[in-house]
Chains A and B, each alone.
Chain A
Amino acid sequence: MPAKKPSDSISGNHEEQFLAAFEDYGDALFRHASLRISNRERAIDLVHDTFTKVWGYVRKGHEIEQYRPFLYKVLNNLIIDEYRKHKEASLESILEQEGVDEGTFDDLTGSDVESLAATIDGKQAFALLETLPDVYREVIVLRFVDELGPKEISTLIEESENVVSVRLHRGLKLLRTAMEAKEAAIVERRTT
């Protein structure tokens, strides 16, 4: 987890703390939103909506001890709403198609994720990120771009750590499969 930013412990009024949070986390939130929805303008709007929602929360007298996790939570919910608006496939329907129940991956650990990640070229995987369904893209971005730990991710998305590990593993596997398919297509084009 990155070091605490000044906005988390700044002495000053609520406005100062709030705007400091924008300075500290604005870019990171925008990056996260861009990677999730692949639309720059819409990502900016979502970041705007995140901050205005949080401001509304502050106006109601709620105390925010740490802005970062709170901002990510609000942004994540907005992104999920965005997907629902565009009627993206739900996790359940994806799993139905694949015939897999996430509950069966009880023995999946963080080290399995590490081992799998070590076999993948990060640059190529990044380029194929937008091909992933959002349910996997979410955890991949939170883990490898926002650098949240499994526990933080589980709190954020309100799922167990085991489910987070499973989704990370599946997401990485899908990326690797997509990379292999792309390379095979290139080789085929060369030989024909």
Chain B
Amino acid sequence: MKRFTEQFNKKASGIKLRANERRELRDRIVSYMEYHPLPAELRQAVDTKAKKVSEFAPTSEPFTTFSFDFGMIRNVVGLFAIILVIGVPVIAERSMPGDVLYPVKVQFNEEVRGTLALSPYAQVEWETERLERRLTEARLLASEGKLTDEVEAGVALAIKSHSDSAKASIAKIRETDADDAALAEITFASALSAQNEAFESQVAKEDKTNDGSDGRSVASLATVVAEETRVAQATQANAKPSYEKLLARVEQETTEAYELFASIEEVALPEEVTDIERRLNDIKRKVAEALSLHASGPAELVIEPALPQAPDSQTAATDTPTTSEAVTDEVATDTEPVTEIVIEAVEPETEGAEDTEQAIALLRAALTDTQKLISFMTNIDVRENVNIDELVPVSLTNDEKILLIKNTLKEVATLRTEMDKRSVPEVVAEKFAIGEARLESLVAEATSALNTDELIVAKARADEALHVASDLFAMSSATPQLEAAASTTEPADEERSTESVDSDASSTEETEA
């Protein structure tokens, strides 16, 4: 029942007064109280702990006695203990490097929280969060000009330390579950990658002449983060989680991403909503593609009539099963169709294994994109420093890819039309002709690939065709200048030759004379 109560409570906890409703309700109640005040005799302090004085207290005593209000002392001590045990850690939580309570935050609060991470995976997540905290603190200090060399060195050490702790936890996971370790590596690398992009962007905006002495530069830290990111990405590239575990993790992360999106949709800007929605749709598409590619997916129960088969054809059918054909469990020997449950054949083939690899690659991409998107939605540092286009580039749909290729080919056609209006000088005629032939061939290949939905080939050919067309256009447009230069030199030559003829003629005349 505890689980039922917890689930019920969790749903119910979402029902509460909004801040403005609460305020208005309180105002209404207070107004009512003011219009209906307490009678005078009730407007006195209600002391629930009245001091009682014994009526039998002696009037004189032979000894001097001291009485202590142990109740008050107990309260004061208790209050002090509460301040020490609860208040200090709570206040320490807001401290920054260099503050008096910062060691309490890092070495007590965070260590205690770390012990609450029961599973190694939770520990990896916690160390990742600690690393992100250090980076956020560093950015905040840099914005205030307080990121001194000493503090920066401390943060760099902390980054390395948390990174090493995360790797140690991943190694621990690997002892029992290689898939979980692979997933943890991917998660860690994604988090670092998002932070790395934020830092790169921030450094790019810094004044290039800043040598870091003003406490505002994060360039050195960015180098540390970049190195950790490089190592993490290299490690996770070798990680090979299983399809099922990867799919489960993707489902988990995408659910979280959708819930986050739903919570920020009302307050985010319209363009932010559109951008995030587009990425979520891209991820959904990748997952759908992975599911359809996966050859050894879950068997699907299909109720359909099993037609009677002749013995020979039945043998042939079972000898060559494919993923798309249904294989009946029993041979129907009579002529009446039998309705029975059939299961789609799930025979692993070479092609199926390749499809699974592709499906895993798609799911990895979907997981990384989802984690970066979550980072974008939840981490203000990432959001302020990185454009979502850089962090999670849009994945074009097939229709968009086709449109892009067609636009490229249109651009090529436009360039060719312009080229036809120009002349080609003799000097480059041969080169031009070769280029034109190549262009013709590329356009034909691109169009053919487009017609057969080989989009990768079509894009490559179209891009190359545009490149060649641009070169040819430049060649033909430069030609008039060359010809003009050539024509201006000729009259000068002619003049010189005319002069020489005239001078020869005059010298001849003189000689004759």
State how many residues of chain A have any CB contact under 8 Å with chain B: 41
Q: A34 to B29, Cβ gap below 8 A? A: no
CB atoms of A123 and B11 under 8 A apart: yes
Q: For chain B residues 42-56, which have a beta carbon within 8 Å of chain A?
A: 42-49
Chain B residues with CB under 8 A of A18: 33
| Cβ contact within 8 Å between B38 and A31 | no
Interface of B is mostly: helix
A12 interfacial by beta-carbon distance below 8 Å: yes
Contact A118 B4 (CB under 8 A): yes
Partner of A126 from the list B1, B3, B12, B33 (CB cut-off 8 Å) is B12
A122 pairs with B7, CB closer than 8 A: yes
The A-contacting residues of B in range 7-30, CB under 8 angstroms, are 7-12, 15-17, 21-22, 25-26, 28-30
| Most chain A beta-carbon neighbours within 10 Å: one of B8, B21, B32, B36 | B8
Tally of contact residues, B, Cβ under 8 A: 34
Assess whether B270 is interfacial by the CB under 8 Å rule: no
**Min distance, Cβ B133 to any Cβ of chain A, angstroms:** 31
B17 touches A13 (CB 8 A): no
Contact between B8 and A14 (Cβ–Cβ < 8 Å)?
no
Asked if A26 and B42 sit within 8 Å, CB to CB, the answer is no
Whether A9 sits at the interface, judged by CB under 8 Å, is: yes
State in angstroms the CA–CA spacing of A138 and B21 once bound together.
24
**Of the residues A11, A19, A117, contact of B1 by C-beta under 8 Å:** A117
Q: Are A144 and B4 in contact (CB under 8 A)?
A: yes
Which of chain A's residues have a CB closer than 8 A to the CB of B16? 27, 30-31
Q: Which residues of B contact A19 (CB under 8 A)?
A: 26, 29-30
Complex contact A13–B12 (CB within 8 A): no
- A1-35 residues with Cβ-Cβ distance < 8 A to B are 9-15, 17-19, 22, 26-27, 30-31, 34-35
Chain B residues near A58 (CB, 8 Å)?
38, 42
CB-CB under 8 A from B8, the residues of chain A are: 122, 125-126, 144-145
A56 within 8 A of B: yes
Q: Apart from A48-B25, A122-B3, A144-B5, list 7 A-B contacts with CB within 8 A.
A: A11-B48, A31-B15, A55-B36, A117-B4, A122-B4, A126-B12, A144-B4
| Chain A interface residues toward B at CB < 8 A | 9-15, 17-19, 22, 26-27, 30-31, 34-35, 44, 47-48, 51-52, 55-56, 58-59, 61, 113-114, 117-118, 120-123, 125-127, 144-145, 147
